[in-house]
Structure 1
Amino acid sequence: MDTTGTLDEALQRLHRSGPERFGRLTNHAPMAVEALAAHGQASAVHRWLELYTRKLEEFPGRVEPVTDANWPAALGDPRRAADWIDHFERELAEHPWREVLARWWPRLLPGLYGGSTHPVIRVGHATRTLLSGESTGPRLAELAHGLGYWAARHRTVADLAALPGADSAAAALDAAPPIAGRDGGFADRLGQVRGLPVWAAGVTDPGEAQRRLTELVRAATHRYATHGHGEETMLVHAATAPNAVLRTLPALPRALWVPSLRAAWTASAAVTAMYAPDAPVAYLPPGAVTPEEVFERALAHGDEHVIKLTDTALDVGDEPALAAALRSIELSEPLR
């Protein structure tokens, strides 16, 4: 993890901006700069931010403070993003960050799907930073921004039919039935998901939940290489959302690991169904490359989703995962 202070500087700079722009598009910069710092590219952080700055908006206005008494009414109200961030900054100033995370994780987990799963991904990046280094003010503030964004965009899914599944995560993702309509954004498509394959439903042991979640991240990452053309941006989240949950597990009580697996599976399978291509394509990467070379290519490309998928691919660490990262570079428009 970065020890130069660059990440903290970047986070302080970014906390003057809101979690979204145009009222619907996520600010990916905090997640991307954390990934850059985590992979030894802190020196590129501010240069990358100069390219991304045009995608930032000012911090939103406040409506009314969120309190212990009124928070249920404020949950899922995107107008209250600033109020929620303020609330978590106060919480984190008064309590250890792991305690705050453990108290709010089960409250927020059912609404993992809000904001196209970006809030939980942002929390996953923030948690990795806190677990691997000092709990500095900017890093704690980043956790507050991630949790506040999640609370403001909280959205649940319910009444999904349990469809025939499979033993492996890869086969279960293959069994996710594509939705009928291919138009509309994430929220519209999520509303068309009626049922998902059963997978890992019988898991009760926390250690097994962690193992299954690791398997899911690997399968979803591998799958991008052959299915990412269905929607090169949104299908990234089938891998990065469950990986955010996986990264957060070590900071959570083990009693929360099994429900975390279930929520992560639903999110990954739903995204898979929502953006499935008509057919997979074979993909062979252009020659042997090291993980470091793949990440350097992702940085040179610059797209925030490419950087984040490559970050997850390096967590998986095998050749099919690196192939998925290279495929995302081919499919995505570079940041200019």
Structure 2
Amino acid sequence: MDTTGTLDEALQRLHTSGPERLGRLTNHAPMAVEALAANGQAAAVHRWLDLYASRLEEFPAGVEPVTDADWRSALGDPRRAADWIAYFGRELAEHPWREVLALWWPRLLPGMYGGSTHPVIRVGHAVRTLLADDGTGPRLTELAHGLGYWAARHHPVTGLVPVSGAGSAAAALDAVEPVAERAGGFPDRLGQVRSVPVWAATVTDPAEARRRLTELVRAATHRYATHGHGNETMLVHAATAPNAVLRTLPALPEALWVPSLQAAWTASAAVTAMYAPDAPVAYVPPGPVTPEEVMERALAHGDEHVVKLTDTAMDFGDERSLAAALRAVELSEPLR
């Protein structure tokens, strides 16, 4: 983790910007700069931000304050993003961040599909910084922005029918049935997801839930190497969304680990269903390359989803994870 202060400087720079742009696209900068700083690239953070700056929009205006008495009526209302961020800013100023997270995690978890899963991913990056050093104001503010964005974009998915699955995460992802109409954006496709293969449904032990979640993130990362061409951007989230949940587990009471696994699996399976290609391509080994070299290639490429998938790949560092990161570099449009 960055100890130079660069990450905190970058977060302060970004907290004058809103969580979205053009009314629907996510501001990825806070997540990307955290990923760079966490992987030894803090010196490049401000240079990367300069390239991304044209995609930032001003922080939105508030509507009315969210309170403990009326928060339910504001949940899932994207017009209230500023109100929610201000609410969590107050909560985090008055209570330890782990207490706030533990209270709100089960409230927000069912709605992790809103904002194309980006809100939970932003929270996962924020929590990683706080687990490394929970004493800085910018990192607490970043958690407030992440939780507030999640509350504003909260969108549950209900009525999914469980269908036959498999014993491993990789096999269960293979068993996901693609949606019939693969056109339109994330909300349109999400509405077509009707079923999810059964996987890890009988898990009750928190330690086993963490093991299974790790297995899922690894499997989804590996799968990108052969299936990423289905949608080079959106299929990244099949790995990064559950990884955000996995990274948050150490900060949560163990009683929340099993439901976290189930929500993460549903999200990963849904993204897989929405963007799966008609057929995989052959796996191509990455050759003699180190994790550090792969991260440098991701930075040189610059695309925020490439950076974030590479960050997830670094958590494993095995051959197939590195191949997935390099496949993202190959498929995606560079940041210019």
Which category describes the TM-score, using the shorter chain as reference length?
A: over 0.9
Partner of 1:282: 282
SS in 1 for 2:315: helix
The answer to whether residue 214 in structure 2 is matched with residue 203 in structure 1 is no
Once the two structures are superposed, what CA deviation does each residue of 1:129-179 show, in whole Å capped at 9, x if it has no partner?
A: 000124200000000000000000000000001110000000000000000
CA distance in 2, matches of 1:42, 1:197: 40
Moved runs in structure 1, 4+ residues, more than 6 A? none
CA distance in 1, matches of 2:224, 2:262: 21
Tell me, yes or no, if the aligned pair for 1:229 and 1:331 is still in contact at 8 Å: yes
* Post-superposition offset of 1:288: 1.3
Partner of 2:72: 72
Partner of 2:92: 92
Which 5+ residue runs of structure 2 have no aligned equivalent?
none
The answer to whether residue 135 in structure 2 is matched with residue 135 in structure 1 is yes
Tell me, yes or no, if the aligned pair for 2:236 and 2:309 is still in contact at 8 Å: yes
CA distance in 1, matches of 2:134, 2:115: 29
Matches within 5 A, 1:290-309: 290-309=290-309
When the two structures are superposed, what TM-score results if normalisation uses the length of structure 2? Answer: 0.99
CA distance in 2, matches of 1:286, 1:143: 35
CA distance in 2, matches of 1:17, 1:174: 39
Partner of 2:328: 328
Partner of 2:48: 48
Amino acid at match of 1:262: Q
When the two structures are superposed, what TM-score results if normalisation uses the length of structure 1? Answer: 0.99
Amino acid at match of 1:282: A
CA distance in 2, matches of 1:9, 1:283: 40
Tell me, yes or no, if the aligned pair for 1:124 and 1:245 is still in contact at 8 Å: yes
CA distance in 1, matches of 2:134, 2:217: 27
CA distance in 1, matches of 2:135, 2:229: 39
Matches within 5 A, 1:165-176: 165-176=165-176
CA distance in 2, matches of 1:285, 1:119: 32
Once the two structures are superposed, what CA deviation does each residue of 1:236-262 show, in whole Å capped at 9, x if it has no partner?
A: 000000000000000000000000000
Partner of 1:228: 228
Amino acid at match of 1:36: L
CA distance in 1, matches of 2:240, 2:128: 13
Q: How many equivalent pairs are there?
A: 336
CA distance in 1, matches of 2:71, 2:135: 26
Partner of 1:257: 257
Partner of 1:29: 29
CA distance in 2, matches of 1:189, 1:253: 33
The answer to whether residue 217 in structure 2 is matched with residue 246 in structure 1 is no
CA distance in 2, matches of 1:66, 1:13: 25
SS in 2 for 1:316: coil
In structure 2, the CA distance between the partners of 1:286 and 1:252, relative to structure 1 (3 Å rule), is closer
CA distance in 2, matches of 1:134, 1:265: 28
Once the two structures are superposed, what CA deviation does each residue of 1:28-50 show, in whole Å capped at 9, x if it has no partner?
A: 00000001110111100000000
Partner of 2:149: 149
The answer to whether residue 194 in structure 2 is matched with residue 194 in structure 1 is yes
Once the two structures are superposed, what CA deviation does each residue of 1:283-308 show, in whole Å capped at 9, x if it has no partner?
A: 31452100000000000000000000
CA distance in 2, matches of 1:23, 1:316: 35
Identity %, equivalent residues: 83
CA distance in 1, matches of 2:110, 2:134: 30
Once the two structures are superposed, what CA deviation does each residue of 1:82-129 show, in whole Å capped at 9, x if it has no partner?
A: 000000000000000000000000000000000000000000000000
* Post-superposition offset of 1:316: 1.8
Tell me, yes or no, if the aligned pair for 1:79 and 1:152 is still in contact at 8 Å: yes
Which 5+ residue runs of structure 1 have no aligned equivalent?
none
CA distance in 2, matches of 1:260, 1:287: 35
